[in-house]
């Protein structure tokens, strides 16, 4: 299989050093707008990490399929006739056509949308229309290329690496930390996508601090108890935790909601857990200056008619917060590209999560450089 080997950008070794937050500078601005870093991120981070692709209830029965994107590669998740989940590149072996562009369900085969080659749900090529007189061709050599897939708490993760690292360390400890909340008991409600004119790291950085909440999100600020807001860092993720204030109305989160867990799992997945609801934010890089953020909403009572008004209120409230974040992230992207800025500094009290993410990123870049030499 072909892989793209990016030409590594020239990175000043001083920029790759990790410093304690009290003395550290933020990552250089060009890491968030130079296309060379976009290629580095794609090949050395996104193509090698476990990557959220959707919820099992989006592929509910044998024959169900769901397209996804990992490191700019089209992927198809399929539930085969035995009920097993599988993932393949969503790329036909004939002339690279797509097998599916929308979620759907088939009886026995998925058929390419270009010339109709048909593949069984285990990826084998079965039907090839108008193929007389083709020489030296064996269907066995033209099956769909598989992609590693695993499921954690109902969430599906794919990894393009042919020898992927074990998944367990990626989320180790989360289940215990949030108990008795049970993410595995939730079902999928809906998905919303937001195209944003900023680099994926800008969106992640913004997510990782509550420093901006009083200014960018005045309404949200009334709900969170800022004095109790804490950041916890772990090898593969960080957690921002905040209890809700007792004296404000949080009815849109349901009667059991008293606290918020905001997890960020490297490299690009956020889990916003409040009471009986999970909102996932998946940050998909598009190019050096654009990303798409995909929100999946899951609820303990996603299909109950009596829950729909509260769910609608939750989604509307999140949309308002997201609009505020999008606006500031897009302005930050402009600022990063300006002549005025290369690096900044951190609030020790409020930006521990950003520092933690940027230190992890530096480690990934150091690894990429070491592998290249």
- Cα–Cα dist 25/365, whole Å: 16
Q: Does 205 bind Fe ion (CB under 5 A)?
A: no
* Cβ nearer to ligand FES, comparing 94 with 191: 94
What, of Fe ion, ligand FES, none, does residue 115 touch, CB below 5 to 8 Å by kind?
ligand FES
* Cβ nearer to ligand FES, comparing 96 with 372: 96
* Cβ nearer to ligand FES, comparing 88 with 237: 88
Q: Residues for the chain: how many in total?
A: 373
Stretch binding Fe ion (CB under 5 A), from 243-251, 253-261, 321-329, 361-369? 321-329
- 363-370: list long-range contacts, CB under 8 Å, 24+ apart: 363/18, 364/44, 364/45, 365/11, 365/16, 365/40, 365/44, 366/16, 367/44, 368/8, 368/40, 368/44, 369/8, 369/11, 369/16
Give contact residues for ligand FES (rule: CB under 6 A). 92, 94-97, 112, 114-117
Residue 88 contacts residue 202 (beta carbons within 8 Å): no
CB of 210 to ligand FES, least distance (A): 48
CB of 214 to ligand FES, least distance (A): 53
* Cβ nearer to Fe ion, comparing 325 with 351: 325
What, of Fe ion, ligand FES, none, does residue 62 touch, CB below 5 to 8 Å by kind?
none
CB of 128 to ligand FES, least distance (A): 8
What, of Fe ion, ligand FES, none, does residue 325 touch, CB below 5 to 8 Å by kind?
Fe ion
Stretch binding Fe ion (CB under 5 A), from 70-78, 132-140, 181-189, 319-327? 319-327
- Joined together, the tokens standing for residue 51 give 């990557």
CB of 91 to ligand FES, least distance (A): 9
- Cα–Cα dist 118/124, whole Å: 9
Return the closest-CA partner of residue 74 out of 92, 59, 94, 86.
92
* Cβ nearer to ligand FES, comparing 93 with 277: 93
- Cα–Cα dist 75/158, whole Å: 9
* Cβ nearer to Fe ion, comparing 43 with 325: 325
CB of 112 to ligand FES, least distance (A): 3
Neighbours of 194 (CB within 10 A): 16
Q: Does 325 bind Fe ion (CB under 5 A)?
A: yes
- Cα–Cα dist 362/291, whole Å: 20
Residue 242 contacts residue 223 (beta carbons within 8 Å): no
Q: How many helices (H) and strands (E) does the chain have?
A: 8, 17
CB of 127 to ligand FES, least distance (A): 10
> Which residues contact Fe ion by CB under 5 A?
325
């Amino acid at each position: 299989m072909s892989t793209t080997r990016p030409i590594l950008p020239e990175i000043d070794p001083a920029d790759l050093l990790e410093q304690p937050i009290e003395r550290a500078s933020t990552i250089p601005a060009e890491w968030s707008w130079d296309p060379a870093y976009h290629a580095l991120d794609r090949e050395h981070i996104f193509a090698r990490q476990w990557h959220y692709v959707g919820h099992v209830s989006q592929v509910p029965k044998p024959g169900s399929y769901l397209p996804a994107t990992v490191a700019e590669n089209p992927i198809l998740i399929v539930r085969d006739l035995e009920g097993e989940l599988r993932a393949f590149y969503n790329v036909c072996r004939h002339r690279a056509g797509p097998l599916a562009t929308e979620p759907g369900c088939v009886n026995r085969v998925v058929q390419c949308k270009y010339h109709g080659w048909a593949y069984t749900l285990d990826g084998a090529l079965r039907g090839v229309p108008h193929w007389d007189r083709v020489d030296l061709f064996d269907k066995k050599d033209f099956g769909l290329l598989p992609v590693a897939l695993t499921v954690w708490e109902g969430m599906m993760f794919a990894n393009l690496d042919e020898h992927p690292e074990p998944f367990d360390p990626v989320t180790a400890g989360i289940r215990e930390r949030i108990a008795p909340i049970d993410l595995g008991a939730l079902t999928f409600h809906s998905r919303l996508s937001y195209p944003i004119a900023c680099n994926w790291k800008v969106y992640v950085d913004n997510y990782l601090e509550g420093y901006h909440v009083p200014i960018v999100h005045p309404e949200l600020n009334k709900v969170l108890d800022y004095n109790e807001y804490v950041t916890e860092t772990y090898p593969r993720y960080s957690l921002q935790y905040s209890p809700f204030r007792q004296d404000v109305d949080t009815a849109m989160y349901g009667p059991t909601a008293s606290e918020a867990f905001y997890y960020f799992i490297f490299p690009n997945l956020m889990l916003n857990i409040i009471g009986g609801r999970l909102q996932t934010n998946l940050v998909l890089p598009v190019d050096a200056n654009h990303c798409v953020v995909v929100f999946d909403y899951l609820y303990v009572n996603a299909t109950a008619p009596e829950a729909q008004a509260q769910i609608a209120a939750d989604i509307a409230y999140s949309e308002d917060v997201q609009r505020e974040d999008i606006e500031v992230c897009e302005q930050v992207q402009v600022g990063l590209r300006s002549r005025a800025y290369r690096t900044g500094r951190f609030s020790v009290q409020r930006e521990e999560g950003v520092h933690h993410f940027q230190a992890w990123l530096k480690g990934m870049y150091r690894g990429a450089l070491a592998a290249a030499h």
